[in-house]
Amino acid sequence: MDILKLIYDPFGSIGEGLRGLLTQLLVQSLGLPDWTVTLIMLIAGAGFLVAVATVTMMFLTWLERKVIARMQDRLGPNRAGLYGILQPVADMVKLFTKEDITPSGADRVIYNLSPMLVVLPSLLVFAVVPFANHVIISDLSIGFLYIVAIGSTSTIALLMGGWGSNNKYALLGGMRAVAQFVSYEIPQVLSVVGVLLLTGSLSLGRIVYAQNYVWFAAFQPVAFIIFLLASVSEANRTPFDLPEAESEIIAGYHVEYSGIKFALYFLAEYINTFAISVFATTIFLGGWQGPYLPGWGALLPDWLWFLLKSYAVVFVMIWMRGTLPRLRIDQLMNLAWKALVPLALVNLLLTGVGLSVMQVFGWKLNDFTVFPSLAVFLVLNVLMGAGFLAVFKPAHLPKRKVVLVSRSRAFEVTTTFTGR
């Protein structure tokens, strides 16, 4: 096997090899029908995905702790292995050996089912993501819709966990998770509709191909920001981590879980984080393609470009966690319904305007006429951003006067917040 090909297209090479081997073994020797090979290939793909997901999750926990530590001027994990890289393994072992506790009065079926169900959608969504050219488990024609649909089921598991635990903090956390998820799903999906309009397809494979000249993040910067914010909120990450806000409701929906069940929740959370960056990469950042600069595309293998971009987005999310304080629940809802949803709708409208301009001049995404189109979209986006800031100027927002009275002297602190 060609080593270079193995590096540039590892999945394709291995897949081809495996398929050849299986065909020889099952179809030609044992006389089984063709679909058994496809079935085994699919199962192998799924197994591979689960393995990669677990490793990714472990790596992410390490990365997050390390980066946050640096931001807070600490060292982070540094005992187990080089730079503490084995710390997640130690954590895993610890979690696996912990006692499995079921609270009294819990609804056992629901309580035990929840951690399993919570991981399922997180893994399923990866089925339609093109990790590299032609490396995609199933390029569904409804790819994006599939992601949204499968993703939306994860809330049920959270709610089940929150309710099944028979704990008021858990129930509160579950309810918060659902309210937040339902609210942020709308701007998230709406922000991507602009991209779907540009591509003319829901298939993620075609969305990536449509970006071989210019990434959609350049076409739709506002939508990209909306998508990122909404997605971070859907993953319940800081600054939107109200469902598990430690200082308010201890740990939210997974407060009662311990041991391996807790580990499953943990797994789901980090896979979701990674999934968001993967979607942001695929939909807005050109997917597995290198930037359109002479020679850059072939500089690195596709899958490496993909990982680089994904981890860049992950880094931004860690960065947000390191710098931003948690929102209050009313601020959270206001941000979704009064800022992001209207903005996403306006973005949709302006995308339509931009598309009409493109149609009038016959400009396309896949040749050099993409650049004047890009200029049109950038102007529209700047206008939209300026308009948004003019309407939602911080000065317009209500102010709360906080008066601190000390014994020696009274002084006033005026704080600004987005809310009533």
36 vs 29: CA distance, rounded Å: 13
Closer of 36 and 331 to other proteins (Cβ):
36
Residue of 150, 217, 264, 271 interacting with other proteins (CB under 8 A): 150
Q: How far is the CB of 153 from other proteins (least distance, A)?
A: 5
Residues in contact with 166: Cβ distance below 8 Å, sequence separation at least 6, in sequence order:
103, 104, 105, 106, 107, 256
Residue 55 found at the interface with other proteins (CB under 8 A): no
**Distance between CA 56 and CA 61 in Å, rounded?**
9
Which range in 95-103, 137-145, 281-289, 344-352 contacts other proteins by CB under 8 A?
Answer: 137-145
Residue 114 and residue 112: Cα distance in Å, rounded? 6
Q: How far apart are CA 253 and CA 170, in angstroms?
A: 4
332-351 residues in contact with other proteins (CB under 8 A) are: none
Q: Residue 54 Cβ, how far from other proteins at the closest point, in Å? A: 25
Among 22, 129, 136, 159, binds other proteins (CB under 8 A): 159
Identity of the residue numbered 267: L
| Nearest distance, CB of residue 152 and other proteins, angstroms | 3
Residues 24-43: x/- map of binding to other proteins (CB under 8 A)? -----------x--------
- Given candidates 202, 208, 218, 263, which one binds other proteins under the rule CB under 8 A? 202
DSSP state at residue 411: E
Toward other proteins, which CB reaches closer, 107 or 248? 107
Give the one residue of 43, 55, 142, 389 binding other proteins; rule: CB under 8 A.
142
* Chosen residue from 49, 148, 250, 397 binding other proteins by CB under 8 A: 148
- Quick one: which of 284, 11, 312, 3 has its CA closest to 133? 11
Q: Which of 163, 266, 288, 311 binds other proteins (CB under 8 A)?
A: 163
Does position 155 bind other proteins by CB under 8 A? yes
7, 149, 382, 391: which one binds other proteins (CB under 8 A): 149
222: Cβ–Cβ under 8 A, 6 or more apart, which residues? 343, 347, 381, 384, 385, 388
Find where tokens 């600054």 sit.
239
| Binding characters for other proteins, 79-108, by CB under 8 A (x = yes) | ----------------------------x-
How many chain residues are in contact with other proteins, going by CB under 8 A? 28
Eight-state DSSP code of residue 135: B
d(CA 329, CA 176): 9
Integer CA distances (angstroms), 219 to 24, 40, 277, 365, in order: 48, 40, 18, 10
Q: Is cis: bond before 239, omega within 30 of 0?
A: yes
By C-beta, is 106 or 214 nearer to other proteins?
106
Q: Identify the residue whose tokens are 């020679």.
A: 295
Which of 156, 333, 346, 374 is the binder for other proteins (CB under 8 A)? Answer: 156
Q: How far does CA 115 lie from the centroid of its chain?
A: 19
The answer to whether 155 and 182 have CB atoms below 8 angstroms apart is yes
- When asked if residue 152 is in the footprint of other proteins (CB under 8 A), the reply is yes
Query: Residue 140 or 316: which CB sits closer to other proteins?
Result: 140
d(CA 378, CA 150): 33
Q: Are 314 and 235 in contact (CB under 8 A)?
A: no
Q: Report in angstroms how near the CB of residue 142 gets to other proteins at its nearest.
A: 5
Query: Tokens representing 199?
Result: 């591509």
Task: Kindly state the smallest distance separating residue 30's Cβ from other proteins, in Å.
Answer: 18
- CA–chain centroid gap for 127, Å, is 14
Segment contacting other proteins by CB under 8 A, of 57-65, 194-202, 322-330, 380-388:
194-202
CB 145, min distance to other proteins, A: 4
CB of 82 to other proteins, least distance (A): 43
Q: How far is the CB of 202 from other proteins (least distance, A)?
A: 6
Token pair 């540039």: residue: 8
CA distance 5 to 144: 30
Q: Which two tokens stand for residue 256?
A: 């009662």
Residue 387 beta carbon to other proteins: minimum distance, rounded to whole angstroms:
18
In the bound state with other proteins, the residue whose beta carbon lies nearer, of 210 and 376, is: 210
Question: Helix %, strand %, coil % for the chain, to 5?
Answer: 70, 5, 25
Q: Which residues bind other proteins (CB under 8 A)?
A: 35, 107, 109-110, 140-142, 145-146, 148-153, 155-156, 159-160, 163, 171, 175, 178, 182, 185, 200-202
